[in-house]
Structure 1
Amino acid sequence: MDVILVPLFTVILIALKIYWYVVLATVIFSWLLAFGVINTYNQAVRTIGDVLARLTEPALRPIRRIMPDFGPVDLSPIALWLLILFVQMVMENLLRAVMTL
């Protein structure tokens, strides 16, 4: 059983860590865009923004619907980070439990 579960949990943990960094890149990109450091007239910038939005919006949209509106401040990435960290902790505990069997 652990022959299947250990690699599966490991892959899920790696995917969660990568997604955490994707959300971080989205936040940094939005800050750079808001402060005028980069603009969407550049095709590469527009493409990067589109890819980041397509990767993160499906997870952020339900959180934005639940959270109250704080005006121009979007706290949904922080909530998503906390959710990812919680799932990572649960997965790590499950991985430890499976490895001790």
Structure 2
Amino acid sequence: MIFQIVSLLLDIACGLFTGACLLRLYMQMQRISFANPVGQLVFVLTDWLVIPLRKFVPSAGRWDLSCLIGAFLGQLVQYLILSLFVGASAAFVLAPLMAVFGVARAAISGMMGLVIINAILSWVQSRSPITAVLERLCEPVLRPIRRVVPLMGGIDFSPLLALVVLQVLMIVLQHLQASVLSIAAG
């Protein structure tokens, strides 16, 4: 029971931090201004680690590697603490590999969340400043689908199809993780 509680709390805290680092990376790649509530929240959650990492980790083009490493470190901390609770040295050794899969899972889950929130806000015609940010963040995922699937009766099914594709990616990632971990552990 204690392990489940610790696991849940770590998943929330480290997942929030990992998601914020990935969102910061993605917003920078999409050249979205941070002068909005989402950008300000991302800065508050990540500046304490990303700014010091930038002194040691250079950017690679549009990729702010300090954000990516921050996301990885957030997941690594989670799996290292869980490994200490389990007490298995194999789990401790596999923690970096688990962190890589954790970052990938967080990226897919985060995009799913963005698409869902964007779709809901599009139904209610919100005038929130967050709406424009969400539309720009979701556009690279929805644009290719919109090219293939036109509006049907004035309804845009691209968010639904994007969620299906992202869910399939999550299933593939889970199976890949299971395969890699069985090879690494065996």
Interval containing the TM-score (normalised by the shorter chain)? 0.7 to 0.9
- Is 1:24 matched with 2:116? yes
Number of aligned pairs? 91
In the TM superposition, what whole-angstrom CA distance separates every residue of 1:30-56 from its partner, at most 9, and x where no partner exists? 1111xxxx4x3xxxx1x2111101110
Which residue pairs with 1:81 in the alignment? 163
| C-alpha separation in 2, matches of 1:29 and 1:94 | 34
Which residue pairs with 2:73 in the alignment? none
If you compute each CA radius of gyration, which structure gives the higher value, 1 or 2?
2
Which residue pairs with 1:93 in the alignment? 175
Aligned sequence identity (%): 32
Structure 2: runs of 5+ lacking an equivalent: 1-93
What TM-score does the superposition give when structure 2 sets the normalisation length? 0.46
Query: Contact (CA 8 Å) 1:26, 1:52: kept in 2 or not?
Result: yes
Which residue pairs with 2:104 in the alignment? 12
Structure 1: runs of 5+ lacking an equivalent: none
- Is 1:68 matched with 2:160? no
Displacement of 1:18: 1.5
Which residue pairs with 2:138 in the alignment? 56
How big is the alpha-carbon RMSD for the aligned residues of Structure 1 and Structure 2? Answer: 1.8
Q: Which runs of 4+ in 1 moved over 4 A?
A: none
| C-alpha separation in 2, matches of 1:75 and 1:69 | 7
Query: Contact (CA 8 Å) 1:16, 1:84: kept in 2 or not?
Result: yes
SS at 1:10 equivalent? helix
In the TM superposition, what whole-angstrom CA distance separates every residue of 1:31-87 from its partner, at most 9, and x where no partner exists? 111xxxx4x3xxxx1x21111011101110110001133131000001000000000
Displacement of 1:96: 0.6
| C-alpha separation in 1, matches of 2:119 and 2:177 | 30
Report which structure shows greater RCO (CA 8 Å, sep ≥6): 1
